[in-house]
Structure 1
Amino acid sequence: MPGSSDVQQQLPAIDGWFTTGDDGKTHLIAGKCTQCGTYVFPPRATNCPNPACVGDDLEQVPLSRRGTLWSYTENQYAPPPPYPSPDPFEPFAVAAVELAAEGIIVLGKVVEGTLAADLKVGMEMELTTMPLYTDEDGFVRTVYAWEIAE
């Protein structure tokens, strides 16, 4: 159970996908092939995703925090369990953000309050976190999310 203060402790909804650095900023964690340098997200420790590579070891590395909006959509239907959807369900934007330095595209929710109509392909996006749900022990479970960069 969280401490008795009014501030609820936040924990990731999925361990190992992102971390908060000493600078207080969120960074996604990726697997990077030690042989060819290919990145993969969500992270994993083995099996390079590059079909031209026989590498099997992937090191865990932080990804860029900013990227370019490659595509987007609006989710109009509540995701099925085990995804914890609010009741009543509210549509939300989903963004595919290209991280040019790593050469990958990362899909994720867009922060609440941002509609698909607010997004335009090519705009700069920045990584953040947002609450997803509060678990049975009272911990706020967070996920990574994209927001329009300032």
Structure 2
Amino acid sequence: MYLHLLILLQLLSSAGASESGIVGGKMAKPHSRPYMVSLQHRGHHVCGGMLIRETLGPQLVLTEYVTVTGLPKEDEHIPASPKCSVAGWGKTYSNNNQGSGVLMEVAVTVEDDSECKRIWQKYFDKKQMMCTRTTGGKRILSGN
């Protein structure tokens, strides 16, 4: 189980998750995202992730509060325009370096990858990121 979590942590950190945030979001309703996990050290949130496989061994017991979720296929293209939501424990304000102590969520709209490539240039990697904007249309965001 720990090996899978370490691999997930490595993937998240290499994809830029340490710079992620849920700016302009709201606190998620408890148990509304049973696939989200908070890895903690001494009672403090260190890193967030998602349960994407049931093969974590016998230590994982699936319930109505603990479930797995799927991811798009590696080569699957997600078209622009769908509304979706992003959740995590990242920064809640763009000028704040502290992450949230509770799970936060924000509504976004998927943008065409070319828009993020134009703005973020070499920092946008469509293999590891999705291009989104806030529903208020304030700015384009990129994230993993």
TM-score (norm 1): 0.29
Choose between structure 1 and 2: higher strand proportion.
Answer: 1
Choose between structure 1 and 2: higher helix proportion.
Answer: 2
TM-score (norm 2): 0.29
Larger radius of gyration: 1
